[in-house]
Amino acid sequence: MGHVTIADSTPVKLCVVIVGLPARGKSFISQKIVRYLSWLSIPTESFNCAANLLKILDKLNTTSNELFTSDVSNINDDLLVENRKQTLNQILKWFDNIDVCGVAIYDGINGTRDERNAIEKSLKEQNIDTVFLESYCDDETIIKSNITDIESTSPEYSTSKSMEDTFKSVSNKIHFYNNAYQSLSTTDEADLSFIKLINFSAQIVLNHIDSYLKSRIVYYIMNLHVKNRYIWLSRHGESQYNLEGKIGGDAKLSPRGEKYSVKLVELVNKYIPNHDKLEVWTSTLKRTQQTAQFLPFPQKQWKALDELDAGSCDGLTYEEIAVKFPEDFKARDDNKFEYRYPGGESYRDVITRLEPIIMALENQENVLVITHQAVLRCIYAYFMNVHQEESPWMSIPLHTLIRLEIKAYGTQVTRIKADIPAVSTYKEKGTSKLGESKNSINVMSGSVISGITDKVIK
Amino acid sequence: MGHVTIADSTPVKLCVVIVGLPARGKSFISQKIVRYLSWLSIPTESFNCAANLLKILDKLNTTSNELFTSDVSNINDDLLVENRKQTLNQILKWFDNIDVCGVAIYDGINGTRDERNAIEKSLKEQNIDTVFLESYCDDETIIKSNITDIESTSPEYSTSKSMEDTFKSVSNKIHFYNNAYQSLSTTDEADLSFIKLINFSAQIVLNHIDSYLKSRIVYYIMNLHVKNRYIWLSRHGESQYNLEGKIGGDAKLSPRGEKYSVKLVELVNKYIPNHDKLEVWTSTLKRTQQTAQFLPFPQKQWKALDELDAGSCDGLTYEEIAVKFPEDFKARDDNKFEYRYPGGESYRDVITRLEPIIMALENQENVLVITHQAVLRCIYAYFMNVHQEESPWMSIPLHTLIRLEIKAYGTQVTRIKADIPAVSTYKEKGTSKLGESKNSINVMSGSVISGITDKVIK
């Protein structure tokens, strides 16, 4: 019997069936839900109907462009039926391997009542619950901005020669689907469980949101924003414990850590635009508050930002842990995400308590979060979509200001080095020695939704 | 600078203006929101328009019954305008004393667009944000059941002679307001920020839910259920640490604690109906899991149910704390809710991490939660609406199964004593000695929404 987080409290198989015309931000919403639920350790996967269609068309030596401008509607229909069947089968097959709780996202147009009823029926036969999620949009500005995003991110348009090409292709596709399209309706589909977003989230209609997991998805979507913005992150300055190689505790900064707290003011002034509106969040531990001590901005202390609690190992060095608790030491290396220190926490536990922070950060811009190595790994993993097995092994060096530039379809990272030396607190797997991570850049740039670059400014 | 929980992350003054005809569950929803936000330490108060009207009518030596059947509509109008003005003034006055964050609930009919616009305008002038919350209902079964609830809880009908009287009075009132009533509309009131509940929560329309706090209120309402149900609570059996008067730790059960874990099976079989569907939640600590060891039901371990972390005081007796940390000892007695053990937690911290548990419990029935003294105080405080200053001082004795019977308008508590002696772990204010609380029954029965009785079965 393992320990339980909120993710496991609803043993359920749920399929979120996306509904919407092209350029309604369907894939953006799908990917955000995948990222959020995966981060909460709920197995979640998105199945993209359009990607499957491309493969079918490839075999037929045709393109989606030809399909959506073709007049031979019978052939089209057969193709599309085949395409839907394929996607649904992928989903059903995926659920075969899900034991307790899993969420599949059926990312497609699903524009007619008949289609939706057929999908719901097939899922119900396998005891899979369904919620439809429509992105309805009649605001031309939003649609145009979505097409611009599609152009740079969708595989379907990666071969388009120009923005005009993409606009034309997408318009054809919209036209193709528009005739038969039926928006979700509380009168004609009164029994369906659905979420209808009107012009992103200006208006939302919820029909029979009858489970905890569904309400969490709604809550998350309500807190999404598409506005481009920055979030700033930093570890505390080097602490006395860092110098001594000890973990945990509530030590003060080392002299070099003190220097970083002075330097940080300079970095903020130089690199953070609109820093007059900046808000600084720290943990309740001395080393983060000392790091923020010279920043003349409103500050908030969050208990939820405290370092991963090392329980009985608090105040020990990795060498001491390896000697005193050899089995724990090995168990942690084997599964660092799930391993919980005796009387302390695991990475999974930290994520559970960080969830409200993530929700607050989704609503915020101009925040500088000064916190700890493990906590930053978890926050970073959310924004950069890092897999939970990798996230505890990421290298987040001391004395570095990290800028996350959050855009609709990806997060770009810039690291600004303060040029004040500090010890490394990175422990490689299978050793108790501290040293620089070899794969830090790879890990940091490897697994984002899209469009990430990881720049280091020295 | 104090520490910060999620409650403080949105510095905002918000007025939730309730909209709905009589018998739409307006006061139920208002009181639930008050309870939830207060529990999260957000100052929240509900202002009941009907209660103010009763006072006005009292002065005029008339009754609401006469008002709502009267034909002299001019007089009525004046009265109602005066009534609204009074309620709004109360709210504005209340906000004068709110510094950072506060939520007022304007619990009234507010059935016309003109009224709503006037209210929003007055609030805006004082920099108070508004969200309208309509309970729209055309399901006669729900309305009838609401009238039954009103009869037993509303001061307005406390003098009614019979259920028929109440039905007639409420019907008159509904009729009186129905003519002019305008439901919130996404076309005619497109710019308003509102939540419209249709037949409780079968369907929900959200319009411009543009702040974090509003989205949290929506999330909470989505998770409300009116179904009567039971939640079962118990502390772990007496532990070795309890015997030694020590706090914290991860001790095993004492021999008497072991006895309780056996006895608990008997109590569950005898007192819990449908216990074949029971689910048992414990913390990750040994003493709760040992207490659950003989219960043949699905079990979940929650880190969030772990005892309040006593930090540096973990493993000490209160006498030792009084000697070793005299200032902390006194500070804790002075403000037990806010006091945080060095390196540990406060009651406020515990509530923050319990919030997902509360949301899960609002969705659940047939759960037995086996956890710790401080955690149970917090869970209990939520369901029984105990004020945050009182909750850390409640007595929750060992070896007792607690049944919460949760109904729409109140929670009824039954305590079933296992008749196995145990030490007291109740520490009175201003002493380091442990002993029975003198006011346990008073506290437990004093501060619920309504209809509570606290029965002890020995």
Contact B206 A207 (CB under 8 A): no
Give Cα separations from B254 to A174, A240, B243 (angstroms): 70, 41, 8
| Token pair of A222 as six digits | 């309500």
Do B82 and B162 share a domain, yes or no? yes
Check whether residue B215 and residue B346 sit in a common domain. no
Name every chain A residue with its beta carbon within 8 A of the beta carbon of B1: 299, 301
Helical (H) or strand (E) element with A92: helix A73-96
Please indicate whether, in this complex, the C-beta atoms of A208 and B202 are within 8 angstroms of each other.
yes
Q: State the pLDDT at residue B118.
A: 94
Dmax (CA) for chain B in angstroms is 76
A242 is in an annotated binding site: yes
Q: Which residue of A has its CA nearest to B208?
A: A202
> Does one domain contain both A209 and A269?
no
Is residue B264 predicted with pLDDT exceeding 70?
A: yes
Tokens of B300: 């979940």
Residue A236 assigned ligand-binding role: yes
Option in B8, B206, B360 nearest A203 (CB): B206
Tell me the pLDDT tens digit for each residue of B299-337: 999 999 999 999 889 999 999 999 999 999 999 999 999
**C-alpha to C-alpha distance for A207 and A212, rounded to whole angstroms:** 14
- Active-site residue (options: B189, B258, B307, B338): B307
pLDDT on residue B60: 84
pLDDT of residue B211: 87
Q: In angstroms, rounded to a whole number, what is the distance separating the alpha carbons of residues B118 and B113? A: 8
B307 is catalytic: yes
Name every chain B residue with its beta carbon within 8 A of the beta carbon of A205: 203-206
Tens digit of each residue's pLDDT (9 = 90 or more) over B358-374: 998 988 889 999 999 99
In which domain, by residue range, is B345 found? 229-450
B212 interfacial to chain A (CB closer than 8 Å): yes
CA dist A241 and B93 (Å) reads 51
Half-sphere exposure of B376 (CA within 13 A, CB side): 26
Instruction: Compute the nearest-CA separation of A405 from chain B (Å).
Output: 21
Q: Does B345 touch chain A (CB under 8 A)?
A: yes
Q: What is the CATH number of the domain that holds A39?
A: 3.40.50.300
B323 with B427, same domain? yes
Tell me the pLDDT tens digit for each residue of B36-68.
Answer: 999 998 999 999 999 998 888 888 888 777 778
Same domain, residue pair B236 and B215: no
The whole-chain average pLDDT of chain B stands at 87
Pairing verdict, β B203-207 and B194-198: antiparallel
Number of domains forming the structure of chain B:
2
Please identify which of the residues A156, A236, A345, A362 carries the catalytic annotation: A236
pLDDT at residue A156 tops 70: no
The verdict on a CB contact (< 8 Å) between A204 and B205 is yes
A9: pLDDT strictly greater than 60: no
Buried (b) or exposed (e) across A293-329, using 16+ Cβ within 10 A?
bebebebbbbbbbbbbbbeebbebbbebbbeebeebb
Residue A272 has pLDDT above 80, yes or no: yes
Does A126 show up as a binding residue in the annotation?
A: no
B206 interfacial to chain A (CB closer than 8 Å): yes
Whether residues B205 and B285 fall in one domain: no
Average pLDDT score, chain A: 87
| In a domain? residue B2 | no
Beta strand A299-302 with A410-417 is unpaired
Residues of B (106-145) whose Cβ lies below 8 Å from A: none
Using a CB-CB cut-off of 8 Å, the residues of chain B touching A4 are 300-303
Give yes or no for a contact between B449 and B31, defined as CB atoms under 8 angstroms apart: yes
Instruction: Please indicate, yes or no, if residue B7 is contained in any of the structural domains.
Output: no
Nearest residue in A to B299, CA atom: A1
CATH number of the domain to which B238 belongs: 3.40.50.1240
Instruction: Kindly compute the dihedral angle of the four CA atoms of residues A159, A165, A167, A170, in this order, to the nearest 10 degrees.
Output: -50
Distance between B41 CA and the closest CA of chain A, angstroms: 15
pLDDT at position B32: 92
At which of A221, A253, A268 does a domain end?
Answer: A221
Question: In A154-275, where does DSSP find H-type helix?
Answer: 163-178, 212-222, 240-244, 255-271
The mean pLDDT value for A305-310 works out to: 95
Does residue A317 form part of some domain? yes
Residue A238 contacts residue A398 (beta carbons within 8 Å)? yes
- Please tell me the distance from the alpha carbon of residue A186 to that of residue A201, in angstroms, as a whole number: 18
Is position B205 within any domain?
yes
Chain A residues close to B352, C-beta within 8 Å: 303-304, 356
Residue B232 has pLDDT above 80, yes or no: yes
Active site residue B175: no
Contacts with B410 (C-beta within 8 Å, 6 or more apart), sequence order: B153, B448, B449, B450, B451, B452
Q: Please report the pLDDT score of residue A24 as a whole number.
A: 93
**Domain check: are B154 and B205 in the same one?**
yes
Total length of chain B: 458
Specify the DSSP element, H or E, that contains A275.
Answer: none
Same structural domain, A314 and A407: yes
Interface subset of A 170-189, CB within 8 angstroms of B: 186
**Given an 8 Å threshold on Cβ–Cβ distance, is A203 in contact with B204?**
no
A vs B: CB pairs below 8 A: 121
- The answer to the question of residue A5 being in a domain is no
Instruction: Give contacts of A215 with chain B, Cβ < 8 Å.
Output: 219, 222-223
A379 phi and psi angles, rounded to 5 deg: -65, -45
B363 touches A: beta carbon within 8 Å:
yes
Nearest Cβ partner of B203 from A207, A250, A355? A207
Looking at the partner chain, which of A205, A250, A340 has a beta carbon nearest the beta carbon of B343?
A250
In a domain, B8, yes or no: no
Structure-derived torsion over alpha carbons of residues B37, B38, B43, B48, reported in degrees to the nearest 10: 90
CA A205/CA B180 separation, integer angstroms: 25
Q: Chain A closest CA to B52's CA: distance in Å?
A: 34
Residue A2 inside a domain? The answer is no
Q: Is A41 helix (H, G, I), strand (E, B) or coil?
A: coil
Predicted confidence (pLDDT) at residue B212 exceeds the cutoff of 90: no
Q: Is A254 annotated as a binding residue?
A: no
Yes or no, beta carbons of B223 and A208 under 8 Å apart:
no
Q: How close does chain B come to A133, measured CA to CA in Å?
A: 14
Last residue of a domain, one of A189, A221, A253: A221
Q: How is residue A317 annotated by DSSP?
A: B
Q: How many C-beta atoms surround the C-beta of residue B19 within 10 A?
A: 27
**Domain final position from B170, B187, B221:** B221
- In a domain, residue B208? The reply is yes
Residues, chain A: 458
DSSP character for A156? G
Return the residue of A nearest to B346 by Cα: A303
pLDDT tens for residues B15-39?
A: 999 999 999 999 889 999 999 999 9
The reply to whether A340 touches chain B by the CB within 8 Å rule is yes
Nearest to A284 among B3, B206, B207 (CB): B3
Q: Give pLDDT tens digits for B372-427.
A: 999 999 999 999 988 888 999 998 999 999 999 988 777 889 999 998 999 999 88
Annotated binding site of B for substrate: 235-242, 287
Most B-contacting residue of A215, A289, A358 (CB-CB within 10 A), to test interface: A215
> Across the interface, do B205 and A207 touch by the CB < 8 Å criterion?
no
Tokens representing B455? 């029965």
Q: Are residues A184 and A257 in the same domain?
A: no
Tokens 């619950």 found at? A129
Confidence of residue A245 (pLDDT cuts 50, 70, 90): very high
- Give A-chain residues touching B354 at CB under 8 angstroms: none
Q: Which residues of A touch B187 (CB under 8 A)?
A: none
Per-residue pLDDT tens digits for A91-103: 999 999 998 889 9
What is residue A3's predicted lDDT score, i.e. its pLDDT? 44
Q: Out of A258, A307, A338, A362, which one is annotated catalytic?
A: A307
Clarify whether residues B334 and B203 are in a common domain.
no
Place B73 in a pLDDT band, splitting at 50, 70 and 90: low
- Whether the per-residue pLDDT at A386 is higher than 80: the answer is yes
Residues of B whose CB is below 8 A from A186: 203
Give whole-number Cα distances, B296 to B274, B279, B284, B305, B370, in Å: 13, 9, 18, 20, 14
C-alpha to C-alpha distances, B412 to A123, B399, B447, nearest whole angstrom: 41, 20, 12
CA of A87, closest CA in chain B: separation in Å? Answer: 29
Asked if A339 has any chain B CB less than 8 Å from its own CB, the reply is no
Q: Looking at residue A182, what is its pLDDT? A: 97
| Residue A169 binned pLDDT confidence (cut-offs 50, 70, 90) | confident
In A, which residues are within 8 Å of B345 by CB distance? 303
Q: Do A206 and B222 touch (CB under 8 A)?
A: yes
Looking at the structure, do residues B384 and B319 belong to the same domain, yes or no?
yes
- Provide mean pLDDT across the span A412-417: 91
Is B3's pLDDT higher than 70? no
Cross-chain Cβ contact B202/A207 below 8 Å: yes
Looking at the fold, whether B111 and B202 belong to one and the same domain comes out as: yes
Contacts of A359 in chain B (CB under 8 A): 212
